[in-house]
């Protein structure tokens, strides 16, 4: 049960959602681990995934840490570093041998550049995993969601489903209607709806359909 956790943008709650998925899997007896190939800025995301993975080492969870909070390609240029994506792919392959479930969390949005000719979408394509798309439920989410879903499918990858993450407690009209409209337009199942800081709502995980 391996998935690539993508987001419609940065700061949409990918790490939060991935950690909940990991804890749910481990609670159900699955030895699952989170894998965030690249962190930019603080390494908090890797720390959260490490804890949710039963204490896996930080370097195992996050092999590449760039200190500047920008896109990986930009951060690498600012820090005079070169990124070779292949060790990131190899590290993932190593995890799949040792763990029955690896949840890979992307960095930023779908087309974030890792190098000048290799994006997060290219990394996901090399792994060939079904994608779970995390969407920040707010005004504008429809456009972000449809464009990202189109890009995922254009990459030849399977969209396993979408998760709506509410970043605020009070839901406006857009948030309420997005729950119906986005799955319909994206032609994808709504796996869960999550209120910020709370547990799952209407979640069937691990879902037999996945």
Output the domain CATH number for residue 193.
3.40.50.300
Tell me what the mean pLDDT of segment 85-110 comes to.
Answer: 97
209 within some domain: no
Residue 105 CA to residue 205 CA, distance in Å, equals 17
Q: Which two tokens stand for residue 53?
A: 């993975």
pLDDT at 171: 78
Entry pTM: 0.92
pLDDT at 58: 96
15 within some domain: yes
161-195 pLDDT, tens digit per residue, is: 999 998 877 778 988 899 999 999 999 999 988 87
Model confidence band, residue 209 (pLDDT cutoffs 50, 70, 90)? very low
Residue 183 CA to residue 114 CA, distance in Å, equals 29
**Quick check: is 36 catalytic?**
yes
Range of the domain at 79: 3-201
Question: Based on the structure, what is the number of domains in the chain?
Answer: 1
188 within some domain: yes
Question: Within 13 Å of residue 143, how many CA atoms lie on the same side as its CB?
Answer: 2
Active-site hit among 36, 93, 179, 180: 36
210 within some domain: no
């Amino acid at each position: 049960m391996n998935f690539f956790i993508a987001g419609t943008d940065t700061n949409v709650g990918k790490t939060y959602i991935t950690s909940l998925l990991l804890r749910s899997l481990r609670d159900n007896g699955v030895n699952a681990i989170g894998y965030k190939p690249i962190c930019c800025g603080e390494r908090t995301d890797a720390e959260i995934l490490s804890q949710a993975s039963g204490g896996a080492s930080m370097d195992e969870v996050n092999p590449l840490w760039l200190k500047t909070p920008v896109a990986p390609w930009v951060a690498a240029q600012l820090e005079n570093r070169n990124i070779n994506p292949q060790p990131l792919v190899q590290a993932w392959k190593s995890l799949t041998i040792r763990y029955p479930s690896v949840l890979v969390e992307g960095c930023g949005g779908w087309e974030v550049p890792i190098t000048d000719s290799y994006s997060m979408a290219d990394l996901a394509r090399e792994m060939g995993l079904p994608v779970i798309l995390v969407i920040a439920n707010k005004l504008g989410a429809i456009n972000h969601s449809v464009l990202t879903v189109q890009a995922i499918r254009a990459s030849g990858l399977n969209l396993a489903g979408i998760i709506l993450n509410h970043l605020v407690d009070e839901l406006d009209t857009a948030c309420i209607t997005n729950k119906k409209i986005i799955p319909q337009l994206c032609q994808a199942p709504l796996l869960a709806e999550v209120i910020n800081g709370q547990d799952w709502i209407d979640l069937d995980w691990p879902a037999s359909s996945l």
